[in-house]
Structure 1
Amino acid sequence: MHLSENEGIEGRSFVVTGGLGTVGSALCLELARRGARQVRSLHLPSASPSEPSPLHSSLRQAGVILIHGDVTKKKDVDKALRGAHCVFHLASFGESGKDTLQAGRVHDTNITGTCNVLDSCREFGIRRLVYLSSYNVVFGGKEILNGNEASPYYPIDSNPDPFGRSKCIAEQLVLKTNGLPAKSKNGAHLYTCAVRPALVYGPGEKHLLRLVSLAKLGLLYYKIGDENVKTDWVYVENLVLALLLASMGLLDDIPGREGQPVAAGQAYFINDGSPVNTFEFIVNPLLRSLDYGVPKLRMDLKQALIMSRVCWFVYMLLFPWLGKKWLPQPFILPPEAYKLGVRHYFSILKAREELGYIPLVSPRDGVNATVSYFQEKKRRELDGPTIYAWLFVMLGILAIFCAAFLPPIGPLYFNYWIHIFVFRSVSVIRLVFVLAVVLHVGEGMYAYYLARKVDPENSKGWFWQTTALGFTSLQCLLKRARSKNE
């Protein structure tokens, strides 16, 4: 397929569901850059904080219309899609972490939401729908080497997670809707296709944010699988390119193919073109650049699955609180263990031949851009010690307080006598506690003074964190000050 880079984009109206995600926002900006007449983003109100983020600002500056709504509500979908020429359906839920465990919401968003989008497209006579699918429609934990679009759908009842099952159902609904006439009887037909991306990396990608958070806390110890385990990754800009090419492949007025779009009813695997080992490719370089410890121990797939199933069980017991921000993300879940520990990669030959897809950003450049983003993000945010420092300091202060001021009864009995053995008297224990509090407050005040010079936006955060953790926090701030002066 040989078309101009703006074919089917200039002067047209587009809707991107899930337009505030990493891929969705990049797609909205690229559509605006290529001359789209109008670009609308449909996203949940929770994705739009009261204070505009840089993401909101950049989208608004590009002229993107931000629409609050939920794809599970037909009226919201109708509001967003009315009058559009092409729809990119990216909105989904449950790809990783705690979200994976909320099966009801996963199916509601990914299946019901997709049905609503399909119905609205036919009601309004929209001609093109590009669906962002997933490798999970064919991969469920069994090895696949250089697979292609002929690979069968993974059996729904055997898929290890709700997300994979829901995406499998939704993709088949999308592809089976291809070619159906509009309900308005205006002669238009809806043409659909599905893009199946590999693991996505790039600035702000949420899976990498979770990984960096674990490393920051000192909880990322293990590599899963051996160095021969390889899988595909795709840089966000390469995926955006594939989505745009897929939309062009649905045009039904191409000379020589009138009424027969090349991509109609088709699915395409999209990646950077070369399988890699996840830890060597992205995890280790990213963590080293942030000065966090890289995982050194190795865990085989069987051990990883045992740990992931324990995590699954524990978090299912906490199901009522899965949506709460205070509940941390699980270390690993079974679908993630399979993705990291089982070789699976696919050919992009079909996308290359039918859509003209060739990755524009090399893996090296993609990793460098990702690393630069996270380095800058770390410089803007409050840094801190590992979770072990938090536990050591907070439990230590609590133990001294209990020994100094609470009666030695029950579980406090042994704590009291240990402190008496060390400090010899209650008066000395109380003096030590008071001195520790004074020292921490003094360190917090110094941290505030220093942060006003080297990190003014987070000066209050540095004060409170250093007051709580003392020198373990102050050490991080001193390190930042030294790096800024170098």
Structure 2
Amino acid sequence: MHLSANEGIEGVRFAVTGGQGFVGAALCLELLHRGAREVRSLDLRAESPWSQRLIDAGVRTFQGDIRKKDDVGRAFRGVDCVFHLASYGMSGKEMVQTGRADEVNINGTCNVLDACHEHGIRRLVYVSTYNVVFGGKPIVNGNEALPYFPIEDHVDAYGRSKSIAEQLVLKSNGRQAKGDKSIRLYTCAIRPAAIYGPGEQRHLPRILSLAKLGLAFFKIGGPDVKTDWVYVDNLVLALILASMGLLDDIPDRKGTPVAAGQAYFICDGKFYSKWIPQPLILPAEVYKVGVTHYFSYLKAREELGYVPMVSPQEGLAATISYWQDRKRRELDGPTIFTWLVVILGMLGVFSAACLPPVGPLKWILDIHLLVFRSVLVIRLVLVMAVALHFGEAMYAWFLAKKVDPRNATGWFWQTFALGIFSLRYLFKRARE
């Protein structure tokens, strides 16, 4: 497919469901950058980390729920092309809310399709998932010829509901508009790999936050397990190319658009050993990260002209740089094990010094008496410990006012709780 960089974008109105999200916001901004006449974002959230950038760029933001037909219709009226990104249940605690996953991913997609039919929209690009064909068995360099994984065998609502939704979208390809039979809706589906990039909120934040707490102590899957990822800018490029592949008014092109009714795997083209360094992972996530599965983007390259514009090395460098900068702006501290030792130790001294020796508290008092010999000494130790922690906290507050003013209050309370175990992290930041 050989088209200009802005074919089907300049002077066109777009709607993006999930436009306040990580990928949705990047897509909205890129569409405007390429000359779109208007870009509308439909999202359940009133605001997100990208809201201000969207508003400043001129994106029209609609707060609404794709489960409600009126909200979808209001955002789609007068639109030429829709990107349907909104979904629910991909990872974490969302995965156990099966009812909501079905409502958003299936019913919401039905509302999107109905609104496209109602308002005579010509193009719909649906963001799907690898999980429509992957169900826990190894896939090496898979392609679009793979059959759908059996609906009844999916172990999570997300994969099942997204598979149903994708099939609904592709079966709606060629559907005539309600008010004008000469207008047809052309649809396609993009199946991205795991998405990463600066600001990504699902994968890296979970890993980094648990690593910070000291909970990243094992991995799932062997060293030979491989999967692929896609950088956010590469995915946005693929989505735009897919929308171009649905154009039905290209001169010298006959028949249906090249992407009409098609699905495409999208990735960076490099495969990684994938492991999840965290114990807090749901059972339904285990088979996704512990089994080799990666796919080829050959079909997208041949039919859409997709070639990753950002290399994996460049994408990873940008992502790491973002998180390093963010880490410098956040409160740093020790692992959860240090928290437990210090807090439990202080509570033990407090209970031995101040609480009546009843039940288990008598054992705590006996242990402290073995060390300190008398209750008076225990109480003196408690007073000295509290005074020392308070003094360290005040020092931390004054030092943080110079080296990390936005987190000064946080440093005070963390140091009051942990003492030197917190203060040494502030010293490290002061040396940077």
Task: Report the TM-score range of the alignment, normalised by the length of the smaller protein.
Answer: over 0.9
**Quick check: 1:443–1:466 contact (8 Å CA) kept in 2?**
yes
Q: In structure 2, the residue corresponding to 1:87 is in which secondary structure? A: strand
Aligned residue number for residue 120 of structure 2: 125
Q: Is 1:414 matched up with 2:363?
A: yes
Q: Distance in 2 between matches of 1:109 and 1:442?
A: 52
Letter in structure 2 aligned against 1:65: R
Q: Distance in 2 between matches of 1:455 and 1:401?
A: 32
Give the drift of 1:336.
Answer: 2.4
Aligned residue-pair number:
431
**Quick check: 1:16–1:90 contact (8 Å CA) kept in 2?**
yes
Q: Is 1:165 matched up with 2:164?
A: no
Measured on the aligned residues, the alpha-carbon RMSD in Å equals 1.4
Aligned residue number for residue 308 of structure 1: none
Q: Distance in 1 between matches of 2:176 and 2:167?
A: 18
Aligned residue number for residue 184 of structure 2: 189
Aligned residue number for residue 403 of structure 1: 352
Aligned residue number for residue 332 of structure 2: 383
**Quick check: 2:230–2:267 contact (8 Å CA) kept in 1?**
yes
Give the drift of 1:255.
Answer: 2.0
Aligned residue number for residue 256 of structure 1: 252
**Quick check: 1:160–1:334 contact (8 Å CA) kept in 2?**
no
**Superposed, which structure 2 residues align to 1:186-265 within 5 Å?**
187-206=182-201, 207-258=203-254, 260-265=256-261
Give the drift of 1:334.
Answer: 2.7
Give the drift of 1:394.
Answer: 1.0
Q: Distance in 1 between matches of 2:338 and 2:190?
A: 45
**Superposed, which structure 2 residues align to 1:462-477 within 5 Å?**
462-477=411-426
Aligned residue number for residue 478 of structure 1: 427
Give the drift of 1:223.
Answer: 2.3
Q: Distance in 1 between matches of 2:118 and 2:58?
A: 26
Flag as ranges the 4+ runs of structure 1 deviating above 4 A: none
Q: Is 1:437 matched up with 2:386?
A: yes
Letter in structure 2 aligned against 1:110: N
**Quick check: 1:125–1:186 contact (8 Å CA) kept in 2?**
no
Give the drift of 1:257.
Answer: 2.6
**Quick check: 2:32–2:38 contact (8 Å CA) kept in 1?**
yes
Q: Distance in 1 between matches of 2:68 and 2:427?
A: 51
Aligned residue number for residue 48 of structure 1: 47
**Quick check: 2:88–2:94 contact (8 Å CA) kept in 1?**
yes
Aligned residue number for residue 23 of structure 2: 23
Q: Distance in 1 between matches of 2:341 and 2:108?
A: 47
- TM-score, normalization: structure 2? 0.97
The C-alpha deviation readout for 1:349-393, integer Å capped at 9, x for no partner, is 100000000001000001000000000110111111111111111
**Quick check: 1:134–1:197 contact (8 Å CA) kept in 2?**
yes
2:53 is aligned, of 52, 58, 82, to 58
Letter in structure 2 aligned against 1:72: R
**Quick check: 2:218–2:279 contact (8 Å CA) kept in 1?**
no
Letter in structure 2 aligned against 1:205: E
Give the drift of 1:231.
Answer: 0.7
Q: Is 1:269 matched up with 2:265?
A: yes
Give structure 2 stretches of 5+ with no counterpart: none
Q: Distance in 2 between matches of 1:414 and 1:22?
A: 53
Q: Distance in 2 between matches of 1:384 and 1:472?
A: 8
Letter in structure 2 aligned against 1:203: P
**Quick check: 1:246–1:263 contact (8 Å CA) kept in 2?**
yes
**Superposed, which structure 2 residues align to 1:324-363 within 5 Å?**
331-363=280-312
Q: In structure 1, the residue corresponding to 2:230 is in which secondary structure? A: strand
Give the drift of 1:430.
Answer: 1.0
Letter in structure 1 aligned against 2:249: D
Letter in structure 2 aligned against 1:48: E
User: Percent same amino acid at aligned positions?
Assistant: 66
**Superposed, which structure 2 residues align to 1:75-114 within 5 Å?**
75-114=70-109
**Quick check: 1:140–1:335 contact (8 Å CA) kept in 2?**
no
- TM-score, normalization: structure 1? 0.87
Q: Is 1:10 matched up with 2:10?
A: yes
Letter in structure 2 aligned against 1:116: N
Q: Distance in 1 between matches of 2:285 and 2:305?
A: 31
